[in-house]
């Protein structure tokens, strides 16, 4: 079956179709919020450090909640949880918009709202990821995750352009009202997803569940190193988006509209990554994809930091996002297939913990950019990823073999002892 046909077949599953629609609107809101938050902070404070600080506070919220979020996803109705989370995300953005238009917004307001946004995002990831698995099962998982990432890319392209136009010609308040509306609209398709019985074992204390997930990951070298490298990818790869407003305004001199097109270029790269994943469906050695695109993130980021021409920056923004999305989707597929049903939500929760380092990386970039400039900070980040790749990922022989072998190995060697 051709890759496109396999992906289209997923939309014959009603629940998956509705969940994908939900993710389009949620991703639209998320992509607009990422650019708007950085631009609003820069315009309000004229400080690169503050741009990073707000991102860092968001990351603290994600990191604190992420391990518990995985346990909650394992124990409660994931569909209902997502509904509550999207309502809260819409309300937070609505509140920021009201503060802006009423001219009451102060820089310190951005810190608690960023923290709350980080908490809500961390709760969303494991609930969404495990719900995808519940709906499609193991056999269709790679395509399902690829199409799931396509939702983000499909939404990010118009979302980036729209938020750039709103910021440039209407104002930051209008941008935040649009973001709130996107989160609210995501509830419409989500409400049509049927409740799916949970597959987890008996309920245990939350702390015990968190520790079980940590033991499970720590006891398997491949999972442990993959998560450690993913923290680097999040800290210096995905976090580059925090510096896009600074690059657009201070170095490329293209303003909010140019910022929107930088974000849109990244969306094109994401779509290319999704197309590649569809073509790579039958590749048994998916670990090689993980290795190749992990290294590519570092290389592309260093080139982006060195670029002073807007046209080249657009191309490199696409290349960075292609590498990031391909790495991220392959990582999620690998981990979901390697672990048991009982531990799946908890491991996805640990991935969500790693995602919390994206805004932490934004803070690191902001601090570095204060001293060496944003382009040099991005180049340093790319170099850190390459060093981490050499130390953590390159030595992993398991990733050079068929994924099925790694899955069997973890079930046989670690499954019985680490789940307790």
Percent of the chain with pLDDT over 70: 83
Is a pLDDT exceeding 60 seen at residue 1? no
Could you tell me what percentage of the chain is helix, strand and coil, using 3-state DSSP and rounding each to the nearest 5? 85, 0, 15
Is a pLDDT exceeding 60 seen at residue 420? no
Please check whether residue 57 is in contact with residue 114, taking contact to mean a CB–CB distance below 8 angstroms.
Answer: yes
In angstroms, what CA-CA distances link 176 with 74, 91, 98, 146, 321?
Answer: 32, 10, 9, 29, 24
- Nearest to 318, CA basis, from 268, 247, 375: 268
In angstroms, what CA-CA distances link 237 with 170, 177, 300, 343, 417?
Answer: 31, 29, 10, 27, 34
pLDDT recorded at residue 50: 95
Is a pLDDT exceeding 60 seen at residue 418? no
From the number of C-beta atoms within 10 Å of its C-beta (0-12, 13-18, 19+), residue 52 rates as buried
DSSP, residue by residue, 99-159: HHHTT---GGGHHHHHHHHHHHHHHHHHHHHHHHHHHH-STTHHHHHHHHHHHHHHHHHHH
Q: Model confidence over 212-240: pLDDT tens digits?
A: 667 777 777 788 888 889 999 999 999 99
DSSP 343: H
Phi, psi torsion values for 218, nearest 5 degrees: -65, -30
Q: Model confidence over 120-175: pLDDT tens digits?
A: 998 888 888 778 877 887 667 667 777 776 777 778 888 889 999 999 999 999 99
pLDDT level of residue 417 (50, 70, 90 thresholds): very low
Mean pLDDT, rounded, for 41-45: 94
pLDDT level of residue 76 (50, 70, 90 thresholds): confident
pTM, whole model, 2 decimals?
A: 0.78
Mean pLDDT, rounded, for 8-28: 86
pLDDT recorded at residue 169: 92
Q: Is 70 helix (H, G, I), strand (E, B) or coil?
A: helix
Q: Quick one: tokens of 97?
A: 């918009």
pLDDT level of residue 314 (50, 70, 90 thresholds): very high
Percent of the chain with pLDDT over 90: 46
pLDDT level of residue 342 (50, 70, 90 thresholds): low
Q: Model confidence over 281-302: pLDDT tens digits?
A: 666 677 788 889 999 999 999 9
pLDDT recorded at residue 206: 54
- Higher-confidence position of 139 and 65: 65
Domains parsed from the chain with CATH numbers: 11-194+205-418 (1.20.1250.20)
Residue 61 contacts by C-beta under 8 Å, 6 or more apart in sequence?
114, 115, 116, 117, 118, 119, 122, 356
Name residue, tokens 């389009």: 24
Phi-psi region of 46 (alpha: psi -120 to 50; beta: other; left: phi over 0): left
Q: Model confidence over 374-408: pLDDT tens digits?
A: 999 999 999 999 999 999 888 877 777 655 545 45
pLDDT recorded at residue 205: 55
pLDDT recorded at residue 93: 97
pLDDT recorded at residue 303: 96
Q: Is 117 helix (H, G, I), strand (E, B) or coil?
A: helix
- How many Cβ atoms sit within 10 Å of the Cβ of residue 59? 28
């Amino acid at each position: 079956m051709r890759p496109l046909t396999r992906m289209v077949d997923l939309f014959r599953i009603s629940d998956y179709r509705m969940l994908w629609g939900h993710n389009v609107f949620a991703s639209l809101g998320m992509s607009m919020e990422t650019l708007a938050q950085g631009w609003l902070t820069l315009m309000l404070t004229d400080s690169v450090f503050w741009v990073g600080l707000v991102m860092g506070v968001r990351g603290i919220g994600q990191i604190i909640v992420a391990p518990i979020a995985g346990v909650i996803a394992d124990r409660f109705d994931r569909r209902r949880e997502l509904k509550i989370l999207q309502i809260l995300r819409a309300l937070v953005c609505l509140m920021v918009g009201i503060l802006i238009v009423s001219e009451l917004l102060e820089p310190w307001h951005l810190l608690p709202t960023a923290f709350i946004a980080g908490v809500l995002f961390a709760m969303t990831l494991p609930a969404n990821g495990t719900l995808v698995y519940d709906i499609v099962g193991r056999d269709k998982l790679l395509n399902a995750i690829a199409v799931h990432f396509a939702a983000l890319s499909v939404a990010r392209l118009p979302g980036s352009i729209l938020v750039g136009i709103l910021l440039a010609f209407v104002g930051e308040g209008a941008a935040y009202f649009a973001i709130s509306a996107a989160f609210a609209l995501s509830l419409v398709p989500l409400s049509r997803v049927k409740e799916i019985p949970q597959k987890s074992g008996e309920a245990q204390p939350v702390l015990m569940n968190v520790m079980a997930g940590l033991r499970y990951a720590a006891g398997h070298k491949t999972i442990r190193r993959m998560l450690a490298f993913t923290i680097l990818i999040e800290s210096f790869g995905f976090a580059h988006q925090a510096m896009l407003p600074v690059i657009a305004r201070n170095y490329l001199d293209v303003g909010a509209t140019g910022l929107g097109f930088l974000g849109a270029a990244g969306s094109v790269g994401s779509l290319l990554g999704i197309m590649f994943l569809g073509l790579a469906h039958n590749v048994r050695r998916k670990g090689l994809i993980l290795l190749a695109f992990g290294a590519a993130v570092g290389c592309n980021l260093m080139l982006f930091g060195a670029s002073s021409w807007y046209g080249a920056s657009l191309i490199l923004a696409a290349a960075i996002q292609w590498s990031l999305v391909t790495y991220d989707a392959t990582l999620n597929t690998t981990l979901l297939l390697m672990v048991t049903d009982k531990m799946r939500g908890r491991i996805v929760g640990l991935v969500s913990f790693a995602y919390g380092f994206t805004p932490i990386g934004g803070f690191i970039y902001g601090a570095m950019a204060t001293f060496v400039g944003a382009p040099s900070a991005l180049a340093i980040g790319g170099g850190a990823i390459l060093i981490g790749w050499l130390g953590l990922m390159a030595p992993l022989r398991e990733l050079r073999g068929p994924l099925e072998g790694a899955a069997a190995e973890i079930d046989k060697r670690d499954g019985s002892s680490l789940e307790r």
